[in-house]
Amino acid sequence: MGQRDNRMDYPQIFVKNIHNAFGSSGDQWLIDLPDIITLAEQKWNLTIGQPMLLSYNYVTAAVQNDSLPVVLKIGVPQHELISQLTSLEYFDGKGCVQLLEQDIEHGMFLLEKLTPGEMLVSVENDDLRTHIACDVMKILWRSVPENSSLIKLRDWFAGLDGLRPAFSGGTGYFPEELFSRVESLVPALFADSSPPALIHGDLHHFNILSSKRGWVAIDPKGVIGPPEYECGPLLINPIPDFPYLPAAISQTERRIAILGERLGFARERIRDWGLCHAILSAWWDTDVQTGTGGEYSLACAEIIAKAII
């Protein structure tokens, strides 16, 4: 390796995200990334195109064997990436983008290129968007496989145990009433929801794309948990405007009604999982040192809490 310039000019937000998420190992990964791209080129006979929007992974269009359009994705090898690769194998292109090649050691894999590849957010009618998301969910979900490498939803929510200690026993800028409500809801939801399944874990308006075989999901987290949770990410999207829309509450109520009807879930359960997800998302985004970072998801939580079902 070493054929590519290791001083690639990455977007600053990409560099920041990688550093914040992975620390020094992420910094080293960025240094090594040009060589990993070269390895992928050689291993899979790729002609690399232009990078796509970079957030926490390096994603770029490519052509394999001078003829097949594909997408190359490279990430920092860690639990979440392994869970994604494992879930892509289990989904096997049904309701989800097809995995073509993988190299777990180097955190790189090839995916089919979806055409036309328009995001669900491009559909203007919100009812239609919600129906499409339901269609994808019903195709996507799988029974729980015997594989410990997949993310457990309980582990995600266990992270909320660190919020009060981080704020000296309080809830910081998280509204006490909302957070206390979620603290009570989480154990009850895990006890009373549908049996766990393999779900996407981050299914929203930017992770559902159009293709020649219909609408399909991309970027699955690969989560084992109650399928009702899948509604949560949908209820707090699309960013960055949703909770600030004049009709955000009524739109949330309409979404919950459609999700309940199409998926057979109790509306109360959908709302409660949505609220819990919004608070969890806000906690993930929080910078404890500054007491900021989760404002968007907290705004969504306020909207969901006001929804009348």
- 54 and 193 in one domain? no
pLDDT of residue 3: 47
Residues of the chain with pLDDT under 50: 1-3, 6-7
Number of domains, the chain: 2
- 145 and 67 in one domain? no
Edge-to-edge, what's the strand order for the sheet holding 197-199?
151-152, 223-225, 197-199
- Give me the count of residues in the chain: 309
- 206 and 71 in one domain? no
β-strands 151-152, 223-225: how paired?
parallel
- 146 and 234 in one domain? yes
Is 19 contained in some domain?
A: yes
Residues forming beta bridges with residue 59, ordered by sequence position: 73
- 124 and 108 in one domain? no
pLDDT of residue 236: 98
Point out the domain boundary residue: 89, 112, 135: 112
Is 46 contained in some domain?
A: yes
Point out the domain boundary residue: 112, 135, 163: 112
Q: Which residue segment(s) compose the domain that 271 sits in? A: 120-306
State how far the Cα of 298 lies from the Cα of 276, in Å rounded to an integer.
10
Q: Are 297 and 282 in contact (CB under 8 A)?
A: yes
- 124 and 64 in one domain? no
- 95 and 62 in one domain? yes
Residue 115: partners with Cβ closer than 8 Å, 6 or more residues away: 69, 211, 212
pLDDT of residue 43: 98
- 72 and 132 in one domain? no
- 192 and 66 in one domain? no
Q: Are 88 and 96 in contact (CB under 8 A)?
A: yes
Q: Where does the chain have alpha helices with state H?
A: 12-44, 79-91, 126-140, 153-158, 163-166, 176-192, 231-235, 248-263, 267-284, 295-306
Q: Where does 45-175 have alpha helices with state H?
A: 79-91, 126-140, 153-158, 163-166
- 144 and 69 in one domain? no
User: What would the pLDDT profile of 246-273 be if each residue is shown by its tens digit?
Assistant: 999 999 999 999 999 999 999 999 999 9
Is 74 contained in some domain?
A: yes
The CATH number given to whatever domain includes residue 46 is 3.30.200.20
- 234 and 108 in one domain? no
Is 5 contained in some domain?
A: no
Is 87 contained in some domain?
A: yes
- 217-243 b/e (C-beta count within 10 Å ≥ 16 → b): bbbbbbbbbbbbbbbbbbbbbeeeebb
Locate tokens 């970027």: which residue?
219
User: What would the pLDDT profile of 63-117 be if each residue is shown by its tens digit?
Assistant: 999 999 999 999 999 999 999 999 999 999 999 999 999 999 999 999 999 999 9
The CATH number given to whatever domain includes residue 181 is 3.90.1200.10
Is 28 contained in some domain?
A: yes
Is 1 contained in some domain?
A: no
| Cα-based angle 239, 8, 64 (whole degrees, multiple of 5) | 80
- 259 and 132 in one domain? yes
Spatial CA neighbour of 211 closest among 107, 58, 71, 59: 71
Point out the domain boundary residue: 69, 93, 112: 112
Is 4 contained in some domain?
A: no
State how far the Cα of 18 lies from the Cα of 25, in Å rounded to an integer.
9
